[in-house]
Amino acid sequence: MKRLVVLGAGTAGTMVVNKLRKRLDEQWSITVVEQSEVHYYQPGYLFLPFGTYEPEQVLKPTRKFIPKGVDFVHGEIDRVLPEENVVVLADGRRLPYDYLVIATGTAPRPDQTPGMLDGGQWHRSVHDFYSFDGAMALREALRDFTSGRLVVHVTEMPIKCPVAPLEFVFLAEAYLRERGIRDQVELVYATPLPGAFTKPVASEALGHLLEDKKILLESDFMIESVDAENKTIVSFDEREVPFDLLVTVPLNMGADYIARSGMGDEFNYVPVDKHTLLSTDHDNVFAIGDASNIPASKAGAVAHFAVEVFEENFLQHIAGRPMTHRFDGHANCFIESGDGKALLIDFNYDTEPLRGTFPLPKVGPMRLLEESRINHMGKLAFRHMYWNLLLPGHRMPVPTLMSMSGKIIESQES
């Protein structure tokens, strides 16, 4: 009997067990390890503070999505012993494996920034929305906020869904206008990046949106500490940004057991080949989704496309054949811009977000890097597809690898 152990039952881990249970015969046992009995629809965290979603819309029982024939182990991971091919749980249980898939994602770590958790301001005047509890606490804070300085801040890249902080500040701007208090609030977006986003074309388009909405951009802001008493964030170059309400994206890191296992980089991400997702150090270990160090967005779309490629590669690998499928870093993201509109970007390792139409040339119906209501509707519709198509491992109606079809490059524009 061959043993496959999957660590984590989030987006990537759940997809993996659903897909591979259908492809592996009875000679294989599959075990998934997860410490949470609740599966959270993390893209929904963005909408919780504004009341667009209710809590029950973003959570369901984890076991609901684990297929028959897969052993579900509820527990906390202490460490992996890769030389022994064993996973050790916090309660002492040992799970031997022949192949291991690490899919424990990434999480916000406010404890890594001096002052962020100090002074008793965490979830009072200092908030995050990258966790369920954080998003719900921020929901209450926004309801009570009527005037002052609202600062949206990113600590350091990479983070889960790198466009989410921009989406938040755009939605906050619309939310304040709807309440009739926009003129009483100064909005600031502080980022370690030199512009609004990482890719030049997208950064320019999103930067214009910040200007149009009168949101101050504080770029190249590398935070050194939070002064909770004086309500100020301080950068390493000694710039200070005061706030009345701070919405921060803390440093994102992989799981601590990765460090204890000696399998990660400085941020606890597992080094893998960016095309095959196989560990660079262990020939029977893969890392999928946010848990790996691939130079792609840490987002659900990337996990989805990566798992599609991983599925075929894994079957080739266990059969002793070369892995012929190559993940290209494909990501596409809807970017909420407020007022019931959103933009759409589509890119990969080698191609930045470009203007054009998606998924069909000229027809679309979605336009890339342009605000539209259909893009917003696509963002909202994705929640239904996530629960009913993506997690159960069904094929989604979008190409796994990025296509240049419908995209406009600069030489075509000139």
Is the same domain home to 209 and 259?
A: no
The span from the CA of 158 to the CA of 171, in Å, is 22
Q: Are residues 115 and 184 both part of a single domain?
A: yes
Angle at which helices 300-318 and 11-23 cross, to 10°:
30
Query: Residue type at 409?
Result: I
pLDDT at 155 over 60: yes
- According to DSSP, the residues that pair with 407 across neighbouring strands are 356
d(CA 131, CA 284): 32
Lowest mean pLDDT among 27-31, 46-50, 193-197, 277-281: 193-197
Residues 67 and 167 in one domain: no
Mean pLDDT of 381-389: 95
- DSSP calls for 359-380: EETTTEEEEETS-BHHHHHHHH
Spatial neighbors of 385 by CB under 8 A, at least 6 apart, are 396
Q: Whose CA is closest to 358, among 407, 412, 413? A: 407
Residue 272: pLDDT band with limits 50, 70, 90: very high
Contact 191, 217 (CB under 8 A): yes
- Is residue 413 over pLDDT 50? no
Considering the domain boundaries, does residue 378 fall inside one? no
Cα 249 from Cα 347, distance rounded (Å) = 23
pLDDT for the residue 362: 84
Name the residue type at position 339: D
The answer as to whether 396 is a domain residue is: no
Number of domains in the chain: 2
413 to 206, 212, 284, 410: CA distances (angstroms):
19, 24, 47, 5
Length of the chain: 414
Residue partners of 365: CB distance under 8 A and separation at least 6 = 357, 374
Q: What is the DSSP-derived secondary structure letter of residue 97?
A: -
Asked whether residue 348 is domain-assigned, the answer is no
CB-based contact 32:70 (threshold 8 Å): yes
Do 260 and 226 fall within a single domain? no
Residue 412 has pLDDT above 70, yes or no: no
Same domain, 114 and 101: no
The span from the CA of 343 to the CA of 77, in Å, is: 39
In a domain, 209, yes or no: yes
- Region 178-185: mean pLDDT is 97
The share of the chain scoring above pLDDT 90, in percent, equals 90
- The average confidence (pLDDT) of the chain is 95
Domain boundary among 318, 353, 374: 318
Q: With b meaning 16 or more CB within 10 Å and e meaning fewer, what string describes 365-379?
A: ebbbbbbbeebbebb
User: Cα separation of 98 and 344, whole Å?
Assistant: 40
| Whether residues 96 and 116 fall in one domain | no
Q: What is the CATH number of the domain that holds 244?
A: 3.50.50.60
Which band of pLDDT confidence, cut at 50, 70 and 90, is reported for residue 397? confident
CA 213, CA 187: separation in Å to the nearest integer? 9
- pLDDT average, residue stretch 397-404: 90
Round to whole Å and give the CA distance between 368 and 377: 14
Separation between Cα atoms, residue 414 and residue 412, nearest integer Å: 6
Statement to judge: residues 72 and 83 lie in one domain: yes
Residue 364 lies in a domain: no
Same domain, 114 and 248: yes
Which DSSP helix (H) or strand (E) runs through 157?
none
φ, ψ of residue 315 in degrees (nearest 5): -65, -35
The per-residue pLDDT for range 29-48, each reduced to its tens digit, is 999 999 999 999 999 999 99
Q: What digits encode the pLDDT tens for the residues 295-352? A: 999 999 999 999 999 999 999 999 999 999 999 999 999 999 999 999 999 999 999 9
| pLDDT beyond 50 at 414 | no
Identify whether residues 165 and 261 lie together within a single domain.
Answer: no
Q: Is residue 69 part of a domain?
A: yes
pLDDT band at 219 (very low <50, low <70, confident <90, very high): very high
- Tokens for 113? 């920034």
Q: How far apart are CA 368 and CA 123, in angstroms?
A: 36
The amino acid occupying position 80 is V
Same domain for 242 and 268, yes or no, is no
Is 72 part of a structural domain of the chain? yes
What is the rounded distance in angstroms from the CA atom of residue 117 to the CA atom of residue 95?
36
What pairing do the DSSP bridges indicate for beta strands 216-218 and 185-190? Answer: parallel
In this predicted model, what pLDDT tens digit does every residue of 387-396 receive, in sequence order?
Answer: 999 999 998 8
Residue at a domain's end among 204, 222, 252: 252
Q: How far apart are the first and last CA of the chain?
A: 61
Residue range of the domain that includes 180: 110-252
Are the C-beta atoms of residues 254 and 264 closer than 8 Å to each other?
yes
Same domain, 181 and 204: yes
Is the model's pLDDT at 200 over the cut of 90? no
φ, ψ of residue 312 in degrees (nearest 5):
-70, -40
pLDDT of residue 308: 96
Residue 410 has pLDDT above 80, yes or no: no
Q: Roughly what angle, to the nearest 10 degrees, separates helices 200-212 and 164-178? A: 20
pLDDT at residue number 360? 86
- Give the number of other CB atoms < 10 A from CB of residue 175: 20
**83 and 98, same domain (yes or no):** yes
**Residue 261, domain member (yes or no):** yes
DSSP characters for 18-65?
Answer: HHHHHHS-TTEEEEEEES-SEEE-GGGGGTGGGTSS-GGGSEEEGGGG
Among 252, 273, 303, residue at a domain's last position: 252
Q: Is residue 411's pLDDT more than 80?
A: no
